[in-house]
Amino acid sequence: MFHRFMRRHDTTDIVMWLIGFGLLAAVIYGSFVTLSSGKYDASVWLDFTIFGLAQGSVYALIALGYTLVYGILFMINFAHGEVFTGGVFTAYFVAIALENSGFIERHWVLSLLILMAVAMTVSVLVAVVLERIAYRPLRGAPRLVPLITAIGASFFLQYTYRGIYGSGIKTYPDFPALDGKLNMFGREWPILTVQALVIVVAALMMIFLYWYVQKTKAGKAMRAVAEDKEAAALMGIDVDRVIVNTFALGGSMAGVAGILYALLFKQVNAFMGFIPGIKAFTAAVLGGIGNVPGAMLGGLFLGIVESLGPSLILDGLGIPSPYQLKDAIAFTLLVLVLIFRPSGIMGERLSEKKA
Amino acid sequence: MDKELKFSWSEILKFGAIAGIVAIYVILVGMVEAFNDRYIISETVTLGQIALFSPVFLLGYFAADKARQIKSTGFAILSSALVGLVGGIFVAALLFLGANINMRAVFLNVSPDLLKILHLGQETMLGAIAANLIISAIVGLFGGLFALTPHKWSNALLVGLSIVLLMGIMQELMTITFGSKDWYKPIGKFIYAQKGLSWGGAILFLILGAAYSLWRGSGKFRPAAKVAKMPAKQRMTVSLTAWALGLIILLALPKFLGSYPSEILTTVGIYIIMGLGLNIVVGFAGLLDLGYVAFFAIGAYTVGVLTTTGKLATVGWSFWMALPIAVFLAMFAGVLLGIPVLKMRGDYLAIVTLGFGEIIRVLVLSDWLKPFIGGAQGILQIPKPHIGGFVFKGPQQMYYIVLAGILLVGYVAWRLRDARVGRAWKAMREDEDVAEAMGIHLVSTKLMAFATGAAFAGLAGAIFAAKLGSIFPQSFNLIVSINVLSLIIVGGIGSLPGVVVGALILVGLPELLREFADFRMLFYGALLVAMMLVKPEGFVPEKTHARELSEKEPFAPEIEPEAPARETI
């Protein structure tokens, strides 16, 4: 019996399952202890969940950029986090100008739209230039070559922002109209106005993207190229242009995500894109990389896990100041998904080659 | 292709615009101002000016190089000058804008000081613009002339100029090292002025460098070929003598150089040890590991915890007792982190190892582990190692521990490379499936690579902790991993001498240029991209690897059917 089991499974498989079960047991035990202690009441959990949804929708928007590019080029655009930073950091200076002229107070919707337009433009520009200079000449090179290029580009961009815009943390101006809880339909809802706005805008962008990819001609070309580049080229599709389009689309999502991030967290600096970038990548992997709805769901899921996890699991395990470890939760999740289900929650089964 | 052979006026505009944009980038990112106090040639040329005008020079070079293939030489020279002029217009436009509107709110570096530098010594705005245009055109023209010079001479000039630049940067180091020695004083007085090289020194180094290059190029200098022709016995003697001589020089170096250069050398040495380790993982086995710093941290923290006499004191062992534990723990961590990623390849592996590195960093910084490893305050009072009564107290003594480490690790890496497991690593790097079909046990081979690489990093970390005497979490961030990766890529992936060369260039050189610290990562990032685009096999390529890379179709601009299955890097 034992021998037959051993023959069918590698030792490493067993070690991995043991690690998995150990972590699962820790998660269950931690949650149980926290919940039975009654340290937090229901409204706190609701707040955590809503915050998780809001930051998750930002992750989801960034994750779309990873997923779109991966779907077409089978490469991880490691510098996508910096595409995100470029837009929101540049828009910061516009935001300051708008605040100083009092424009934000008078027309907050219009200012928000202006900021988004600026951030999108810059992010698209960064993404397209990146593709042109760093990635296009390497198409067809062994897979690690563009990856190393992307890592280099990521650092280059971070330190470029630092050199040009300065190294300090900058505080985004406040939108007075968005302060406090959401007041609508004659009653107060248990959600901050900013969070509601972030969720709604992100949802609109995702619907737009889904429509673009599924219904427009450009989206059809994109899907065709993702399916088979050669056949698409034979059908008269300009593959280079489709790839540029893809980078631009990912960049524009990252631009919007940047402004939403700034609304939620109020701070920007030159290195801000790195951690959200990796987390968004986690989200993309969670949903099955290359899968557009998957990236959206993965982002929301990661956002919620990250916001609930520290108090729910780590607190119960008796770890002091658990919130410091929230990044570790996201990365652990990434590792676990890649080990146990590299195709993601809802991705199609990838061959081992791709994973 | 027709497209390649086109060179017209619009092309000149394009090249000029690129030069201008790059020059503006260099200005805005702050390099021109930061490097402006660093004189290369006394009172005449600063590093800032070199940074400002090198884009124009380069693009002038490229323009002339492209133009001469189609058009006449005269046109090529003219086009390079025009490229310079167009580039100059961009810089002049920035100068004009900067003087008239306040750009500082956004672009931090456009300060009055910077504008003064861009005036190039002219008082009036008109004069400054004219000076920019004229000098840019002349520099572009020089770039063009450089492209048209026969290869032998332009190469000699390049070597000469590089030596001048290097000696200019090394002024401080030379003065610190040899300033008090009697034999150096007249030499130093001749080659250096107050700030930067004297004209005499500059010309001397230019001639020396050029002459050396011409001599090398003439084909008379081939010691390796000469040795190869000798009978076996004589060859043995020659190589043994060379090794012994090299070792004696290495042993005498700290005594001869003094404290500060030894400090730089020890830092370089620690990176060499790490580079040799990562070279096994990335270079031999082809597993891109971005969380390499984690093992370095484990080595350093193990030594820290076990030996410290400060607040966190535990057992208070000596360095030599803690060292094997540190190496073993790092190795163990290598296997532990290796198991989950066994089935991943390429880019996924990179991101997961990056995640591991970040997890370790977050854990080290957390309050949770603070009682054991000190959190953000780190571990203080790590005693220096000693043998009997001899204490390795300063960099001049630590140097020997580092040197011993390099020799040991280098020997292990060198022996492993051609051993059975080394060949298995390389086979796995080329194609995992084929390797497996050939009977290579992938699991143990991969784990062996992770474990060996991690052990080297653990050793480096242990020495690092003893060298500094205190360790802080900030020393163990992702940047270390990227530094190590950059140095093995610059040296040549899989190449052992490449690691040494890469570490000297990427770790040693920046230590000489303090102003450079802010731009170090910028430079590394650009270097990674440039190396992958232009010279993916590195400067000291490993033979088989270079062959593999050149075997492959050249990077065609057309679409390749799919990401190829080969996992070469």
- How do residues B417-429 score in pLDDT, each as one tens digit? 888 888 888 888 8
**Residues B139, B157: one domain?**
no
Instruction: Give the confidence band of B553 by pLDDT, cuts at 50, 70, 90.
Output: very low
Residue B416 in domain: yes
The beta-carbon neighbor of B362 closest among A159, A327, A353 is: A327
The beta-carbon neighbor of B344 closest among A163, A321, A338 is: A338
Which of A:27-66 have CB within 8 Å of B? none
Is the confidence at residue B559, as pLDDT, over 70?
A: no
Give me the total of CB pairs closer than 8 Å, taking one residue from chain A and one from chain B: 204
At B188, is the secondary structure helix, strand, or coil? helix
Domain boundary among B433, B450, B475: B475
- What is the Cα–Cα distance from A193 to A178, expressed in whole angstroms? 5
Express as a percent the part of chain B with pLDDT over 90.
Answer: 8
**Averaging pLDDT over each range in B8-12, B26-30, B213-217, which range is the top one?**
B26-30
> What is the Cα Rg of chain B in Å?
26
Q: Which residue of B has its CA nearest to A320?
A: B368
Nearest chain A Cα distance for residue B500, angstroms: 20
Instruction: Give the confidence band of B516 by pLDDT, cuts at 50, 70, 90.
Output: confident
Residue A218 in domain: yes
**Residues B337, B399: one domain?**
yes
Q: Which residue of A has its CA nearest to B338?
A: A12
- What is the Cα–Cα distance from B217 to B20, expressed in whole angstroms? 35
- Please list the alpha-helical segments (H only) found in A266-309: 274-286, 292-309
Residue B172 in domain: yes
**Pairing label, strands A170-171, A267-268:** antiparallel
Residue A319 in domain: no
- CB-side neighbour CA atoms (13 Å) of B487: 32
Q: How many domains does chain A have?
A: 1
Average pLDDT on A305-314 reads 80
**Residues B383, B435: one domain?**
yes
**Residues B271, B341: one domain?**
yes
- Which of A151, A234, A317 is the mutation pick for testing B, counting most B CBs within 10 A? A151
Judged by average pLDDT, the poorest of B58-72, B183-197, B213-227, B477-491 is B213-227
Is the confidence at residue A347, as pLDDT, over 60?
A: no
Residue A226: list chain B partners with CB under 8 A.
none
The beta-carbon neighbor of A152 closest among B107, B350, B525 is: B525
- The pLDDT of residue B459: 93
**Residues B191, B301: one domain?**
no
Residue whose pair of structure tokens reads 């009977």 in the numeric block = B439
Residue B14: list chain A partners with CB under 8 A.
none
Q: Does A334 touch chain B (CB under 8 A)?
A: yes
Contact B502, B490 (CB under 8 A): yes
- The pLDDT of residue B544: 66
Average pLDDT on A297-302 reads 89
Residue B482 in domain: no
- The pLDDT of residue B548: 63
Distance in Å from the first CA to the final CA of chain A: 32
Contact B272, B497 (CB under 8 A): no
CB A144 to CB B286 under 8 A? yes
Is the confidence at residue B456, as pLDDT, over 90?
A: yes
CB B286 to CB A229 under 8 A? no
- The pLDDT of residue B329: 92
The beta-carbon neighbor of B529 closest among A73, A134, A278 is: A134
Judged by average pLDDT, the poorest of A321-330, B103-112, B298-307 is A321-330
Contact A162, B31 (CB under 8 A): no
- What is the Cα–Cα distance from A151 to B479, expressed in whole angstroms? 11
Q: pLDDT tens-digit profile of B320-378?
A: 888 898 999 999 988 888 887 777 766 778 888 888 888 888 888 877 777 777 777 77
Judged by average pLDDT, the poorest of A175-184, B3-12, B207-216 is B3-12
Q: Does A350 touch chain B (CB under 8 A)?
A: no
- The pLDDT of residue A251: 92
Q: Does A324 touch chain B (CB under 8 A)?
A: yes
Average pLDDT on B121-136 reads 84
**Residues B158, B60: one domain?**
no
Residue A166: list chain B partners with CB under 8 A.
108
**Residues B294, B346: one domain?**
yes
Nearest chain A Cα distance for residue B118, angstroms: 17
Q: Where are the beta strands (DSSP E) in B135-229?
A: none
Domain membership of residue B211 as a residue range: 153-221
Of the candidates A53, A350, A29, A88, the residue with the CA atom closest to the CA atom of residue A201: A53
Q: Which residue of A has its CA nearest to B548?
A: A142
**Contacts of A16 by beta carbon, 8 Å cutoff, 6+ apart:** A339, A340, B339, B340
Mean pLDDT of all residues in chain B?
81
**Residues B25, B90: one domain?**
yes
Average pLDDT on A110-115 reads 88
Residue B561 in domain: no
Average pLDDT on A130-139 reads 87
Q: Which residue of A has its CA nearest to B27?
A: A164
Nearest chain A Cα distance for residue B107, angstroms: 6
Q: Does A99 touch chain B (CB under 8 A)?
A: no
* Domain CATH code at residue A123: 1.10.3470
- Residue predicted with more confidence, B462 or B120: B462
Q: What is the DSSP-derived secondary structure letter of residue B39? A: E
Q: Does A327 touch chain B (CB under 8 A)?
A: yes
The beta-carbon neighbor of B348 closest among A73, A96, A338 is: A338
- The pLDDT of residue A354: 41
Residue A176 in domain: yes
**Residues B262, B252: one domain?**
no
Residue B13 in domain: yes
Contact B509, B264 (CB under 8 A): no
At B197, is the secondary structure helix, strand, or coil? strand
Cα distances from A61 to residues A40, A55, A113, A150, B229, in angstroms, run 31, 10, 17, 20, 66
Q: How many domains does chain B have?
A: 4
**Residues B291, B208: one domain?**
no
CB B563 to CB A74 under 8 A? yes
Domain boundary among B440, B475, B510: B475
Nearest chain B Cα distance for residue A96, angstroms: 10
Residue A324: list chain B partners with CB under 8 A.
362, 365-368
CB B525 to CB A148 under 8 A? no
- What is the Cα–Cα distance from B502 to B271, expressed in whole angstroms? 10
**Residue B387 β-bridge partners:** B390
Instruction: Give the confidence band of A1 by pLDDT, cuts at 50, 70, 90.
Output: low
Judged by average pLDDT, the poorest of A281-295, A332-346, B204-218, B498-512 is A332-346
- The pLDDT of residue A85: 92
Which of A:126-165 have CB within 8 Å of B? 133-134, 136-149, 151-160, 163-165
Residue A225 in domain: yes
Residue B564 in domain: no
**Residues B339, B247: one domain?**
no
**Residues B187, B306: one domain?**
no
Residue A316 in domain: no
Domain membership of residue A177 as a residue range: 45-308
- CB-side neighbour CA atoms (13 Å) of B157: 12
Nearest chain B Cα distance for residue A41, angstroms: 25
- The pLDDT of residue B31: 82
Residue A326 in domain: no
Contact B118, B91 (CB under 8 A): yes
Q: pLDDT tens-digit profile of A36-78?
A: 777 777 777 888 888 888 889 999 999 988 888 888 888 888 8
Q: Is A81 exposed, middle or buried (0-12, 13-18, 19+ CB in 10 A)?
A: buried
Residue A110 in domain: yes
- What is the Cα–Cα distance from B456 to B505, expressed in whole angstroms? 21
Q: Which residue of A has its CA nearest to B341?
A: A339
Nearest chain A Cα distance for residue B558, angstroms: 8
- The pLDDT of residue B565: 41
The beta-carbon neighbor of A233 closest among B343, B367, B559 is: B559
Q: pLDDT tens-digit profile of B46-84?
A: 888 888 888 888 888 888 888 877 777 788 888 888 888
CB B352 to CB A281 under 8 A? no
Of the candidates B259, B271, B263, B309, the residue with the CA atom closest to the CA atom of residue B461: B271
